[in-house]
Amino acid sequence: MTTMNTDKDMPLQGLHEECGVFGIYDFDGSDVASSIYYGLFALQHRGQESCGIAVSETSGPKGKISSYKGMGLVNEVFDEETLEKMKGDIGVGHVRYSTAGASTRENAQPLVLNYVKGTLALAHNGNLINAKELRKDLEYTGAIFQTTIDSEVIAYHIARERLNSKTAEEAVRRACMKLKGAYALVVASPRKLIGARDPFGFKPLCIGKRDNAYILASETCALDTIGATFVRDVRPGEVVTITPEKGIESDFSRALPSEQEARCIFEYIYFARPDSHIDGVSVYASRIKAGKFLAMDSPVEADLVTGVPESGNAAALGYSLQSGIPYGTAFVKNGYVGRTFIKPKQSSRESSVQVKLNVLKEAVAGKRVIMIDDSIVRGTTSDRIVRMLREAGAKEVHVRISSPPFLWPCYFGTDIPEREQLIAYNRSIEEIRQIIGADSLGYLQLERLSEMAEGLPICTGCFTGKYPMEPPKEDIRGEYYDKEADMAKKLERNLL
C-alpha cells in the first residue's frame, strides 16, 4: 500500500505512513469496542483518512462479527451510540492514510472475512512489494476482490491457508511466508488474537496488558492511553498468538539474523508519537539526539532555535541543548484545521500555509533564527515557511533538517515519490538552499542515523538507494492503481 504525495512539505501534513493497528482480547469477557476507540485515537497521527473497528464475542456463536468503519477521523466516524452497539470481548481496529487504492469506505479497514472455517478480522500496516503477483494468483483461481488494497490479498491468503492448517496462527504464519515487504498484522479469529511482524521489522508492533486483557498496538502510546502496561515488542519475523489458555505463544519461523533487520528510521524521525518507545528506543530521545547531532555537525551563530510543529520541536530542543542557543516557539499551529476544512482556491494556494501555521512576530523580529524540520521532500513549503519568517522580521533564517537528503523512493510504506520529484535529486545542498531561500542549510549526516536508533539495524533505502531486499521492477501499486486520480486527490488534500 504505497502512495505518492504531490507536495509533502505542506506544514502539519508531512510525510505519510499509511496505518495504525490495534487489537485487544479481554479474557474476562468485557466489551472492548471503547478501548479500541481510545487506542485508535492515540494512533490517529498514523492515518487520518479512514478508520474502523471489528469485534466479536468469544463465548457467542462463531462467525458473528460486529464491524463499523468510515471515512474521517476516529471521533468523526464513531459516537457513543455506535460503540455501545458493538458487543464483543475480542476485536481489532485500524486508522488509515490512503495508499494504493482509492480513498473510499470500501478500502477502510479492518477487513472482515467470512469463509468455510469461520471468520477473520484483519488490520494491516505496511506495504507489500509482491502484492500484484499475489493478487493475480488469487484472481486466476476465482477470487473476487472487494477492495483495491493489498491488505485484502493478505486476508485471502490467510483464509486459503487456514483450509489446510490445524490452527489460525499456523495459517497466518504460512501466509506470511508468501509476503515480501513491510507488514505489521493484527488478526482476530473467533477465539484468538494474533499478531505478526515482517522479518525485517520495518513496521512496529508491541504487546500490552491491562488487568486480564492483552493488547497489540502499533505504538506504546496507545497502551498508555487505555491504562495498559507495556509487555514487550513483537520481534521481527515473529507471530504471536494470545489466548486465555496459554497467554502469549510465539513462533519465530521467519526470523532473520538480527543484523539483517531493517526498521524504518522514519518511525524515530517523524512517524511515531514522541511519547512512544519502539523496540526499546525512546522516540523523543532519538529526536533530541538528532538535534544535538545537527548542532555538532552543522553549527551556526544565531539567537533562537525553533521547530516546525510538531515533528521539528524535539530536534530543535536538542539543537538548543547542545549549542546553548535559546529554544523558543516561533510558530502557532491552528489545531482546528481538520479534514473538513474548506480548501482555499488554487489562486490563493499560498494562503493555505498560513491558515495552518502562523509566525509569532514578537519571537523572531530582529533575530537570527535556526528553523528545524524533519525533512524536505519537494521543498515548496520549506520555501514558504522561510519566507514567512523573513516577513515576520527574522534577520537570518538557517534551516536544519533532522534527516539526510531524500534521493530515492520508498517501497515499504512511506510516501516518498519518484526521484525526479525530490528536491535533492541532482542538486547540491547549496542549490537547495538557494531554492528555499535560507541563509544556510544543513542535513543530518547519514552515519548519525544508527546512533539515533541506538544501534538497531535500520533501513536507509530512501537516502542511499540500498534497500534491504530487491525493490520491484515496476510500479508496485499495480494495475488497479489510478495514478492520475490519486495525484489529483493528494493535490486537493494538500490544499488544506
Whether 331 and 359 have beta carbons less than 8 Å apart is answered as yes
Measured N-to-C along each axis, helices 168-176 and 150-162 cross at an angle, to the nearest 10 degrees, of 130
What pLDDT does residue 102 have? Answer: 54
What is the set of domains in the chain, with CATH numbers? 19-261 (3.60.20.10), 277-465 (3.40.50.2020)
Q: 263: which 3 cell numbers?
A: 526498521
**For 228-250, how does the pLDDT look when each residue is reduced to its tens digit (9 = 90+)?**
999 999 999 999 999 999 999 99
Average pLDDT over residues 320-336: 92
Closest alpha carbon to 113 in 145, 148, 90, 72: 145
What pLDDT does residue 419 have? Answer: 85
Q: pLDDT at residue 488 above 60?
A: no
pLDDT band at 459 (very low <50, low <70, confident <90, very high): very high
User: Cα-flanking dihedrals φ and ψ of residue 249, to 5°?
Assistant: -105, 150
pLDDT band at 7 (very low <50, low <70, confident <90, very high): very low
Q: pLDDT at residue 120 above 70?
A: yes
What pLDDT does residue 378 have? Answer: 83
What pLDDT does residue 75 have? Answer: 94
Q: Which residues are identified as catalytic?
A: 19
Average pLDDT over residues 194-218: 97
* Rounded-to-integer distance, Cα 342 and Cα 44, Å: 21
Question: Which residues make beta-bridge pairs with 92?
Answer: 23, 54
* Rounded-to-integer distance, Cα 184 and Cα 196, Å: 6
What pLDDT does residue 147 have? Answer: 74
pLDDT band at 103 (very low <50, low <70, confident <90, very high): low
pTM of this structure? 0.88
Question: Which residues make beta-bridge pairs with 239?
Answer: 196, 251
Amino acid code (one letter) for 495: L
What pLDDT does residue 211 have? Answer: 97
Measured N-to-C along each axis, helices 429-436 and 380-391 cross at an angle, to the nearest 10 degrees, of 50
Q: 434: which 3 cell numbers?
A: 538557494
Average pLDDT over residues 66-79: 94
Average pLDDT over residues 206-232: 98
Whether 175 and 161 have beta carbons less than 8 Å apart is answered as yes
What pLDDT does residue 145 have? Answer: 79
The per-residue DSSP string of 196-227 comes to EE-TT--S--EEEEETTEEEEESSHHHHHHTT
What pLDDT does residue 6 have? Answer: 32
Q: pLDDT at residue 101 above 70?
A: no
- Kindly report the three-state secondary structure assignment for every residue of 162-190: HCCCCCHHHHHHHHHCCCCEEEEEEEEEC
Amino acid code (one letter) for 130: N
Q: pLDDT at residue 5 above 90?
A: no
**For 248-286, how does the pLDDT look when each residue is reduced to its tens digit (9 = 90+)?**
999 988 888 888 999 999 999 999 999 999 999 999 999
State the Cα angle at 475 between 473 and 478, rounded to 5°: 120
Provide CB contacts within 8 A for 50, sequence distance 6+: 69, 70, 71, 72, 77, 95, 96, 98, 103, 105, 107, 108, 109
pLDDT band at 353 (very low <50, low <70, confident <90, very high): low
